[in-house]
Amino acid sequence: MNDPVPAPSATGYFLPATIAEAGDLFLRHKGGARLLAGGQTLIPELDRPGRPADTLIDLRRIAELGRIDWSSGRVDIGAMVTIAAAQSGLAEAFPVIAACFAHVANSAVRNRATLGGSLALADPASEISTFLLAYDAEVTLIGGERISVEQLIAGRGDGPFINTIRLPLPAARERSGFAEILRRRSGGRSLAMALVRLDAERARLTVSGGACQPFRIEAAEGPALLDALVARSSIFDGHSTRAWALAAARRALATAELPC
């Protein structure tokens, strides 16, 4: 079902072809409308009691939302770009993305789930959020407002309509590493994950996972990140959670420090 657009009280399924059309539908059905991206989380949710969806706005026909646009010093990624497409399309500029996104579920999920859908879930233990936080991503909303990924994740619940995700490009000589500690070797819940970025001027560590809310630390050089992490122990809720975060950080740092 697409046109004509029904009255705001109507229920239904819409397949808009443009961002403008989708934005208009979203506004008209504010509150009862759910945006449908890859459907990996939303479709199973529709059968469960809880949050109903009076109206579904399916974004899959909107070509603009599936684009990756490179420009000087940055890349803009459409909200409908899948995890798999981002993993391959961004690998040259962000080599760590291969290891980081490989931890997301399985290839079936990665080929359908989108960056916009993942971010909208605001899951602090997500590899997608961790990567985007580590690279200082900004989110452009339908309507043009720009907010940081941190702001988006902090505002859980009914979120805004995400248009694109903007990433500043890292320095060409930057080195990076990612590591994740899982409850079991395969399919386990994430206990902690860490992404380290090292360049000539500074070292940066982003930690998240089941152990704590995501946070970032900066230091002058790699090993100092671990000292800084130990010093922040009050943010963990126990010895084990701190140990998992430290283990993830150590592994990520070791990967980043490997000779090129």
Own/partner pairs, 37-42, CB within 8 angstroms, 24+ separation: 37/79, 37/80, 37/113, 37/114, 37/116, 37/117, 37/120, 38/82, 38/112, 38/113, 38/114, 38/117, 39/112, 40/109, 40/112, 40/113, 40/117, 41/113, 41/117, 41/121, 42/117
Per CB under 6 A, contacts with ligand FAD among 198-257 are: none
Among 5, 46, 68, 109, binds ligand FAD (CB under 6 A): 109
Name the DSSP class of 18: S
- Both tokens of 226, joined, read 């671990």
Which one among 19, 25, 37, 225 touches ligand FAD, defined by CB under 6 A? 37
Binding pattern for the stretch 155-174 against ligand FAD, x by CB under 6 A and - elsewhere: ----x-xx------------
**Under rule CB under 6 A, residue 79 binds ligand FAD:** yes
The first and second tokens of residue 93, run together, are 């500029």
Residues between 88 and 107 with contacts to ligand FAD, criterion CB under 6 A: 103-105
HSE toward the beta carbon, residue 134, CA cutoff 13 A: 28
Which member of 25, 28, 100, 117 binds ligand FAD (CB under 6 A)?
A: 117
* Residue 208 CB, nearest approach to ligand FAD (Å): 10
Rounded Cα distance, 254 and 256, in Å: 6
176 vs 190, which CB is nearer to ligand FAD?
190
**DSSP classification of residue 242:** H
In the complex with ligand FAD, which residue's Cβ is closer, 112 or 202? 112
Q: Which of 16, 62, 127, 241 binds ligand FAD (CB under 6 A)?
A: 127
Cα 10 to chain centroid distance, Å, stands at 32
Binder of ligand FAD out of 87, 118, 241, 255 (CB under 6 A): 118
> Interface residues with ligand FAD (CB under 6 A)?
34-42, 79, 103-105, 109, 112-114, 116-118, 120-121, 126-128, 159, 161-162
